[in-house]
């Protein structure tokens, strides 16, 4: 796509579509890659209210875009509106990245990829010792995490405040998931090799996720997909107990890679420099420091 456009002398443009979208860090992220890779493209913000989303998406190419990221509140609408979905989007039920294949608009979901790519990059041998995971939460983020872990053959105990939501999610995915309430957590933690927080607890302005980590095996890995603050109370507590921890910011960075590659024809890298650029932005906007 990029090469075609470049031959025609057109500057390829992508955007993030949301409402509101001012807070999105995707322009900073993709802008950094465009600049450092020397690509004469652009990545913009598109603030599109819900009633206008279907028209905006239908006219994406006519507006000069090669594709887009889709964020809140449009991910489920995009799922319904695209011409074709990739396997992850199909399983997760939401689309966060769109691109064109010939004249067809394809919808993908890169959150599961981002989750696993960051884990692979942070702890390359995690898979050798991980058989069972506890996943906390049963919302959209949990669906991506569950999809990613099942693809790696991990057995999952899905723990959620509202048990019925965990049961629905478990039924949607596979027999390798059990749905549990928080009461069962101590027992489940004792058997877990990996614990993942996908709830909104621990985010800035939300209560902390307070779990008693005592039952956890010392070798267990603790992953929090929340990235503002960069180190949540939950991760800090896990780190203080000597667990290997994985933060949420890397997932955000890695989930952006496949979209960029499709739109601009170059696979970008997630580097410490990029991470510190986004960390500084979070710090500047929230006053919260990382670790």
Closest distance to ligand ATR from the beta carbon of 226 (Å): 10
* Residues 185, 209 contacting (CB under 8 angstroms): no
201 binds ligand ATR (CB under 6 A): yes
Closest distance to ligand ATR from the beta carbon of 152 (Å): 20
Among 117, 141, 185, 256, binds ligand ATR (CB under 6 A): 141
Closest distance to ligand ATR from the beta carbon of 136 (Å): 7
Closest distance to ligand ATR from the beta carbon of 1 (Å): 30
Q: Which is nearer to ligand ATR, 105 or 198 (CB)?
A: 198
140 binds ligand ATR (CB under 6 A): yes
- Contacting residues for 95 by C-beta, under 8 A, at least 6 apart: 70, 75, 78, 79, 82, 85, 89, 107, 108, 109
- Contacting residues for 55 by C-beta, under 8 A, at least 6 apart: none
165 binds ligand ATR (CB under 6 A): yes
Per DSSP, helices labelled H in 13-67 are 26-36, 53-58
Q: Which is nearer to ligand ATR, 92 or 222 (CB)?
A: 92
What size, in residues, is the chain? 291
Q: Which is nearer to ligand ATR, 130 or 199 (CB)?
A: 199
177 binds ligand ATR (CB under 6 A): no
Among 107, 108, 114, 137, binds ligand ATR (CB under 6 A): 137
Which residues inside 142-161 make contact with ligand ATR, applying CB under 6 A? 142, 160-161
132 binds ligand ATR (CB under 6 A): no
Closest distance to ligand ATR from the beta carbon of 284 (Å): 24
* Residues 213, 240 contacting (CB under 8 angstroms): no
162 binds ligand ATR (CB under 6 A): yes
Cα 162 to Cα 185: distance, rounded to the nearest angstrom: 14
93 binds ligand ATR (CB under 6 A): no
Among 27, 139, 265, 290, binds ligand ATR (CB under 6 A): 139
Neighbours of 42 (CB within 10 A): 16
197 binds ligand ATR (CB under 6 A): no
Could you give the C-alpha distances from 179 to 141, 168, 171, 214, 287, in angstroms and in order?
Answer: 16, 9, 9, 22, 37
User: Strands 97-101 and 104-108, how do they pair?
Assistant: antiparallel
Whether 35 is catalytic: no
Cα 69 to Cα 286: distance, rounded to the nearest angstrom: 24
**Catalytic, out of 35, 75, 206, 217:** 75
Residue nearest to ligand ATR (CB): 139
Q: Which of 49, 58, 111, 52 is nearest to 82 (CA)?
A: 58
- Contacting residues for 147 by C-beta, under 8 A, at least 6 apart: 88, 91, 92, 112, 173
Closest distance to ligand ATR from the beta carbon of 182 (Å): 8
Q: Which of 145, 25, 153, 134 is nearest to 88 (CA)?
A: 145
Contact positions toward ligand ATR, by CB under 6 A? 137-142, 160-162, 165, 198-201, 207
- Which residue numbers are catalytic? 75
């Amino acid at each position: 796509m990029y090469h075609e456009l470049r031959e025609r002398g057109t500057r390829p443009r992508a955007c993030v579509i949301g409402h509101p979208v001012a807070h999105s860090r995707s322009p900073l992220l993709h802008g950094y890659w465009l600049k450092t890779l020397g690509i004469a493209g652009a990545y913009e913000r598109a603030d599109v209210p819900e009633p206008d989303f279907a028209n905006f998406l239908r006219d994406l190419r006519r507006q000069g875009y090669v594709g887009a990221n889709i964020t809140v509140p449009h991910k489920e609408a995009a799922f319904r509106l695209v011409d074709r979905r990739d396997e992850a989007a199909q399983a997760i039920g939401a689309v966060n990245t769109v691109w064109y294949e010939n004249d067809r608009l394809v919808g993908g979901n890169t959150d599961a990829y981002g989750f696993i790519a960051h884990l692979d990059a942070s702890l390359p041998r995690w898979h050798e010792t991980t058989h069972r995971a506890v996943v906390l939460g049963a919302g959209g983020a949990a669906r991506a995490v569950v999809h990613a872990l099942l693809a790696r053959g991990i057995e999952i105990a899905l723990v959620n405040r509202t048990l019925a939501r965990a049961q629905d999610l478990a039924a949607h995915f596979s027999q390798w998931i059990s749905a549990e309430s928080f009461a069962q957590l101590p027992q489940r933690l004792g058997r877990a090799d990996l614990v993942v927080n996908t709830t909104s607890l621990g985010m800035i302005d939300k209560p902390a996720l307070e779990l008693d980590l005592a039952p956890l095996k010392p070798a267990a890995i603790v992953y929090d997909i929340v990235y503002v603050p960069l180190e949540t109370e939950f991760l800090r507590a896990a780190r203080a107990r000597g667990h290997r921890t994985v933060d949420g910011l890397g997932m955000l960075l890695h989930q952006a890679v496949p979209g960029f590659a499709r739109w601009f024809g170059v696979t970008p890298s997630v580097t410490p420099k990029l991470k510190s650029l986004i960390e500084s932005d979070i710090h500047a906007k929230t006053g919260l420091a990382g670790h």
